[in-house]
Homo-oligomer: A and B are copies of this chain.
Amino acid sequence: MTEEESKDLRKKIAELIIVRISGYHEDEQRNYPRWEVNNEELKTLIREGLGGVIILGGSTYELQSRCSELQKLSTKKLLICADVEEGVGQRFHGGTLLPPPMSIGRIYNSNPKKAKSLAEEYGHCIGNEARLNGLNLVLAPICDINNNPENPVINIRAWGSDPLTVSELTCAFHKGIKKEGVLTCAKHFPGHGDTNHDSHLMLPNLKHDLKRLNEIELIPFKSLIESGIDSIMTAHIKLENIDSKNPATLSYTILTELLRNQLNFNGLIVTDALIMEAISKIYGSGEAAVLAIKAGADLILMPEEPFQAIEAIFMAIKKGEISKERIERSILRKQSALQRLSSKELDSRNFQEIRRPGKLLAKEIIRDSLEIQNPGKIGPSSNGINLISVENAINCPFLNRPAPAIVLPKMAGYRSLLIDKNGISPWTGSKNEPLDLDLIGKAPILLQLFLRGNPFDRGMEMQENWINAVIQIQENDLLSGLVIYGSPYLWQKIINITDKNIPIAFSTAQIQEAQTQALRRLIKSEVIRGKNQEASINRFID
């Protein structure tokens, strides 16, 4: 190879790489500097032919200017992806925040028609905001079937726990999002719903064979392939009865033989982030990228070291382990996806008017999926404690100074006390008296648990703790009320242990609209009369 040819080949390889960046413009503003390429590296990568970015953080206003600046820097169109499964607001301030898909899955149980229509609107809303803000590949829908309640990583991100629900709702979502022409991605192939470990931290292992996958996990993927999904993301899970050696992301059997050949998928195969520990703990950065390409992936998402990944693939081609044609085919698939995009972009008549603002959609989904017992039964208190449990109060997306979870209980006389991983622990370590009530205060407690699935394997322990704590608070006759935001599985357990007369509520959503609806229904209306939550913040400093 001449130097010119080498350079050219490296550029082609770079076209298959997607790195993670922050939506904030300044390097110092990055919330995840370890995973987000800085601006200088980003410019170098773009100069060397980078294929795209996955972006998160900052506001939609920052996003717009960041996307247009990046596209100007690049000689060819960049893929700009985002994990906006639950609305553009999930990753960018000011965008719409929607309740998790599982909310609609729960509506499906009683009203499938309504649920499908909501899922379609949901997709349309995300597609619309993605397009208007400069994103062109939305990494959704989740096609995993959450058939394991202890799943730490999929959980309420899934549309349901059975193949039909997930298949119908993801297809409705897809129909909605495609009205806006942005590219889409079904994930995580061949199904990440039945794991009880988090692939961010380790590689889950499943016993399922092909027969089982065909009966359950593959059903939504097949429907979406038929609907013309643009890309499919791989799962970092091992299916030892299908490929005893490699995780799905790096498995020729799964990506090429199953997905490409048997299921006839001709779109883009995208790896899940190679930086996740399921992969990065076992494989080097270059090694993982090479194995993924060999297995059949087209796009390499978030390699730990992007330059190493490019170099390793280059060396594998030089050694004849990967053919140049293999790379060319992936580039062609990418270009063809971008062309579908471009024709849409040029013609705004293609776009259909969005039915209603995302906020109203969110409101309806929450209303229809909210569960409540003993509404209107929380009365005023002179010394009540509004005990709120969150993972991390620093940069918490659903808690700000005037959050309804803080302000509404305050109107009823409950002062807030926050429990999170940064503060002093309220836990004694004992199972019977898990909470140190002397620390918290022996007064009526309104408990609000923001516990969404079991993120990063820590959730199950927290669920256990809180179940025991609820029993303890109840035995001390101090439980005024309880709201769970997030896990339906925790909700099921809590229903079984709380007295029948305790006011309790559940929403899959954690956003402020869910807080408002749950608390306004639980607290006596005389106490929080009128619409003016603002007035409850009486003093300048509160």
Footprint of B on A, CB under 8 Å? Answer: 24-26, 28-35, 58-59, 61-62, 64-65, 93-94, 200-201, 275-277, 359, 392-396, 399-402, 416-420, 422-424, 426, 439-440, 455-456, 512, 533-535, 537, 539-541
Query: Which of B58, B64, B277, B424 contacts A440, CB < 8 Å?
Result: B424
* Given A62-B94, A394-B401, A419-B423, A540 contacting B33 (CB threshold 8 A): no
- A30, A394, A541 pick with most chain B CB within 10 angstroms: A394
Q: Which residues of B contact A537 (CB under 8 A)?
A: 33-34
Query: Which of B31, B456, B533 contacts A541, CB < 8 Å?
Result: B456
Q: Which residues of B contact A392 (CB under 8 A)?
A: 401
Q: With both chains docked as a complex, state the minimum distance between the C-beta of A474 and any C-beta of chain B, in angstroms.
A: 21
Q: Are A541 and B200 in contact (CB under 8 A)?
A: yes
Q: Which residues of B contact A33 (CB under 8 A)?
A: 402, 533-534, 537
Task: Give 3 nearest A-B pairs by CB, closest first.
Answer: A423-B423, A61-B61, A418-B422
Q: Which residues of B contact A395 (CB under 8 A)?
A: 400-401
Q: Which residues of B contact A426 (CB under 8 A)?
A: 424
Q: With both chains docked as a complex, state the minimum distance between the C-beta of A285 and any C-beta of chain B, in angstroms.
A: 14
Q: With both chains docked as a complex, state the minimum distance between the C-beta of A17 and any C-beta of chain B, in angstroms.
A: 19
> In the complex the two chains form, what is the Cα distance from A278 to B538 in whole Å?
14
Q: Which residues of B contact A535 (CB under 8 A)?
A: 34
The quantity of this chain's copies bound in the complex is 2
Q: Which residues of B contact A25 (CB under 8 A)?
A: 94
Query: Which of B201, B423, B456 contacts A420, CB < 8 Å?
Result: B423
Q: Are B30 and A402 in contact (CB under 8 A)?
A: yes
Q: Which residues of B contact A512 (CB under 8 A)?
A: 28
Q: Which residues of B contact A418 (CB under 8 A)?
A: 394, 422-423
**Please, which residue of chain B has its CB at the minimum distance from the CB of A533?**
B33
Q: Which residues of B contact A455 (CB under 8 A)?
A: 541
Q: Are A422 and B393 in contact (CB under 8 A)?
A: yes
Q: With both chains docked as a complex, state the minimum distance between the C-beta of A8 and any C-beta of chain B, in angstroms.
A: 32
**Please, which residue of chain B has its CB at the minimum distance from the CB of A24?**
B94
> In the complex the two chains form, what is the Cα distance from A202 to B423 in whole Å?
32
* Given A393-B394, A424-B417, A93 contacting B29 (CB threshold 8 A): yes
**Please, which residue of chain B has its CB at the minimum distance from the CB of A457?**
B541
Q: Are A401 and B61 in contact (CB under 8 A)?
A: no
Q: Are A541 and B400 in contact (CB under 8 A)?
A: no
Q: With both chains docked as a complex, state the minimum distance between the C-beta of A279 and any C-beta of chain B, in angstroms.
A: 11
Q: With both chains docked as a complex, state the minimum distance between the C-beta of A505 and any C-beta of chain B, in angstroms.
A: 21
Q: Which residues of B contact A64 (CB under 8 A)?
A: 61
Q: Are B201 and A539 in contact (CB under 8 A)?
A: yes
Q: Which residues of B contact A440 (CB under 8 A)?
A: 424
> In the complex the two chains form, what is the Cα distance from A61 to B134 in whole Å?
15
Q: With both chains docked as a complex, state the minimum distance between the C-beta of A454 and any C-beta of chain B, in angstroms.
A: 12
30 contacting pairs across A/B (C-beta < 8 A): A24-B93, A24-B94, A29-B93, A29-B94, A31-B401, A31-B402, A34-B402, A34-B537, A59-B62, A61-B61, A61-B62, A62-B94, A201-B539, A201-B540, A275-B540, A277-B539, A277-B540, A394-B394, A394-B396, A394-B400, A395-B400, A416-B422, A417-B422, A418-B423, A419-B423, A423-B423, A423-B424, A424-B424, A424-B439, A455-B541
Q: Which residues of B contact A94 (CB under 8 A)?
A: 24-26, 29, 62
> In the complex the two chains form, what is the Cα distance from A94 to B93 in whole Å?
14
**Please, which residue of chain B has its CB at the minimum distance from the CB of A96?**
B26
> In the complex the two chains form, what is the Cα distance from A424 to B436 in whole Å?
11
Q: Which residues of B contact A419 (CB under 8 A)?
A: 423-424
Q: Which residues of B contact A35 (CB under 8 A)?
A: 540
Q: With both chains docked as a complex, state the minimum distance between the C-beta of A231 and any C-beta of chain B, in angstroms.
A: 23
Q: With both chains docked as a complex, state the minimum distance between the C-beta of A270 and any C-beta of chain B, in angstroms.
A: 19
Q: With both chains docked as a complex, state the minimum distance between the C-beta of A70 and any C-beta of chain B, in angstroms.
A: 15
**Please, which residue of chain B has its CB at the minimum distance from the CB of A541?**
B456
**Please, which residue of chain B has its CB at the minimum distance from the CB of A392?**
B401
Q: With both chains docked as a complex, state the minimum distance between the C-beta of A322 and any C-beta of chain B, in angstroms.
A: 28
Q: With both chains docked as a complex, state the minimum distance between the C-beta of A118 and any C-beta of chain B, in angstroms.
A: 21
Q: With both chains docked as a complex, state the minimum distance between the C-beta of A535 and any C-beta of chain B, in angstroms.
A: 7
> In the complex the two chains form, what is the Cα distance from A94 to B94 in whole Å?
16
